[in-house]
Amino acid sequence: MVARIRVTWPDGPVCGICFTTALRRRGSCPECGQDRLLPGRSTTGSDICRDCAGITTEMTCQGCGAEAERFRAGHCIRCVLRADLETLLRPLDPPDLRLKRLIGILANAERPESIYTWMRGAKAKELLTGLGTGDIELTHESFDALPESRAVEHLREMLIHHGMLPDRDRELAAFQRWLETRIQVLADTPHIQSPIEQFARWHHLKRLRTLSEAGKTPNTAVRSAKQEITESGKFLAWLDAEHGLTATSIGQAHINEYLAAGPSTRYTIRTFIIWLIKNKEIVRVEVPHRYAATKPGITQQQRTDLIAHLVESGEAPLRLRVAALILLLFGQPVGKIAALKCSDLHASPEGLYLSLGTVPALIPAQIAPMVWDYLHHRPNQRTANGTSEWLFPGSLSGQHIHADAMMSQLRALGIDLGGARNTTLRSLVQELPPTVVANTLGYSYQVIHRHNADAGTPMAGYADKGVKPRRR
């Protein structure tokens, strides 16, 4: 297929793609010294300005006067974008400085073409039109009332990032929306809905709000809450179907029967049962903890080899190498790694520290430069997501990378996630007291003591510098 010729310049015919590419080159012309577009080529192959190249094609916007490709009706992409946004958002009908500011931000984006493509999409156009007519107010409540979609969240995060909506705990907000839906699903069975709603609101929602106030609502805590609420609802549905009973009639025999007849996820009703007992809804019964019969692991040599490869090889993206090293050095769950903030890194005369628990952990000296380099070259730093607080920004503005996405990417590097974490923790408790490891890495004492009981060979090589708490 032969490319269609758009213009003919002194050095020959130019197709549409090459024309657009040429009009995006800007800099100091080596022949006249002026800073302007450099669409032409000199006899030596250097990029030069239109006048020096003898190009007569008009490249001045009729709207703003800037030297740029004429995108539509003699106007550049920024002028076209601004005009289309004003038509949709109607910032003067009635006057709204927030909408006017949003238009300015979008029109001045680094890549206005991507904003133009986005706003022409059906969902984005509908949302922008709604903001312009006032059908959608600039409040979280108004956005929450819309059907959930990536387009809604993308626009919401853009507005948050630029201060047109207040920031909020995204994990907590998502959990609250999920909870309302979950409770509504149980509306036809009020004898199940009532105890589940009370458990969800008084125990889990209260706990997540406490975590949120402390600035920490990890994805893992939200997932655990969802699973416990869902599984508790299933248990009450089983109790009703099999025995015609409600939550206040639960006995030990019912629990034993239910746990024996299904998968291990049924053991997650334990928190619900304990909550019922504490609230004097049922007599004391027992739901044992469920521990895996075997725990995955990798050898210490495999762990050391992985660390060395990640440090010395540049094959994988720096983002994944840094995330993998946090896993292999500090034994962190991937969900927690994905939700780390830039503010969790601290520099001191002793070196670079990472806050994972109550005591910051020292990042090994040979790895610290990688982390610093990554910190200053993080991906997904666009107009809608610039200066993100997240160490691992996601593709959706204002949010960190989703834990599932990071898990898939780390597995693609050949890392056994559970095995790597278990081996790391077992190794660390051989080098430091379990309480120090727990405080430094943010684990409970019970979890670390279980790994201490499973501990095998001590660390070696790179790994012997994995966890060093800050000296007090």
- The pLDDT assigned to 430 comes to 86
Sign of CA pseudo-dihedral 140, 213, 280, 282: positive
Quick count: other Cβ atoms within 10 Å of Cβ 285? Answer: 16
CATH number of the domain bearing residue 403: 1.10.443.10
Same domain, 443 and 312: yes
Domain count for the chain, please give it. Answer: 4
Are 373 and 447 in the same domain?
yes
58 lies in a domain?
A: no
Residue that terminates a domain, selected from 161, 184, 209: 161
Task: Tell me: do 360 and 389 sit in the same domain.
Answer: yes
* C-beta neighbour count of 54 within 10 angstroms: 11
What φ, ψ does residue 342 adopt, rounded to 5°?
-60, -30
Q: Is 20 domain-assigned?
A: yes
DSSP 120-140: TSHHHHHHHHHHHHTSS-SSH
pLDDT of amino acid 394? 87
- Which regions of 338-456 does DSSP assign to beta strands (E)? 345-348, 351-354, 361-362
How far, CA to CA in Å, does 38 sit from each of 13, 33, 70, 113, 370? Answer: 17, 11, 15, 19, 36
**Mean pLDDT, residues 282-308 taken together:** 83
Regarding predicted confidence, which is higher, 99 or 454?
99
User: What residue type is assigned to position 224 of the chain?
Assistant: S
Boundaries of domain holding 249: 170-278
- Residue 26 confidence (pLDDT): 93
Position 459 confidence tier, pLDDT thresholds 50, 70, 90: very low
Looking at per-residue confidence, does 220 or 79 come out higher?
79
Residue with the bigger pLDDT between 171 and 236: it is: 236
Q: Terminus-to-terminus CA distance in the chain, angstroms? A: 70
pLDDT in tens, 131-148: 999 999 999 999 999 998
pLDDT at 157 over 60: yes
What is the model's pLDDT at position 123?
Answer: 93
Domain identity same for 87 and 156: yes
Residue whose structure tokens are 């003591």:
449
CA angle in degrees (0–180, nearest 5) for 443-409-364: 50
**Looking at per-residue confidence, does 124 or 315 come out higher?**
124
Rounded percentage of the chain residues whose pLDDT exceeds 90 = 59
Cα–Cα nearest to 339, from 220, 434, 443: 220
344 with 394, same domain: the answer is: yes
Give the mean pLDDT of 193-220. Answer: 90
pLDDT for residue 214: 81
Name which residue leads in pLDDT, 424 or 295.
Answer: 424
Whose structure tokens read 């909870």? 179
| pLDDT at residue 385, rounded to an integer | 54
Q: How far is CA 326 from CA 14, 385, 421, in A?
A: 50, 24, 10
446: left (phi over 0), alpha (psi -120 to 50) or beta: alpha
Are 201 and 250 part of one and the same domain?
yes
**pLDDT-based confidence at 240, cuts 50/70/90?**
very high
Residue 289 lies in a domain: no
Query: Taking 60 as the threshold, does the pLDDT of residue 457 lie above it?
Result: no
Retrieve residue 319's tokens: 């983002």
Average pLDDT over residues 434-439: 87
Assess whether 343 and 444 both reside in one domain: yes
264 and 325 in a single domain? The answer is no
Cα–Cα distance for residue pair 406/431, rounded to 1 Å = 29
Q: What pLDDT does 62 receive? A: 95
Q: Compute the mean pLDDT over every residue in the chain, rounded to the nearest whole number.
A: 88
Task: State yes or no: pLDDT of 256 exceeds 90.
Answer: yes
Using the Cα atoms of residue 197, residue 200, residue 202 and residue 203 in order, give the sign of their dihedral. Answer: positive
- CA 378, distance to chain mean position in Å, is 13
> Does residue 358 share a domain with residue 312?
yes
At which of 243, 278, 313 does a domain end? 278
Q: Comparing 63-67, 112-116, 191-195, 461-465, which segment has the lowest mean pLDDT? A: 461-465
Q: What is the pLDDT of residue 469?
A: 57
Task: Render pLDDT for 365-418 as a digit per residue (tens, 0 to 9).
Answer: 889 999 999 998 888 666 555 567 899 998 877 788 988 899 999 999 999 998
The rounded distance, in Å, linking the Cα atoms of 468 and 472 is 12
In a domain, 285, yes or no: no
294 domain residue, yes or no: no
Would 126 be classed as within a structural domain? Answer: yes
Judgement on whether residues 308 and 274 belong to the same structural domain of the protein: no
Q: Is 447 inside any structural domain?
A: yes
Phi-psi region of 90 (alpha: psi -120 to 50; beta: other; left: phi over 0): left
Predicted pLDDT at 367: 92
Residue 67, in any domain of the structure:
no
Question: 380 versus 331: which is more confidently predicted?
Answer: 331
Residue that terminates a domain, selected from 161, 188, 209: 161
Least confident range from 107-116, 311-320, 434-443, 454-463: namely 454-463
Say yes or no to pLDDT of 458 above 50.
no
pLDDT tops 90 at residue 453: no
Q: State whether 138 and 11 are in the same domain.
A: no
Residue found by looking up tokens 């003919």 in the block: 8
Encode pLDDT of 5-51 as tens digits: 889 998 889 998 899 899 989 999 999 999 999 999 998 889 999 99
- Same-domain check for residues 230 and 323: no
Whether 472 shows a pLDDT value over 50: the answer reads no
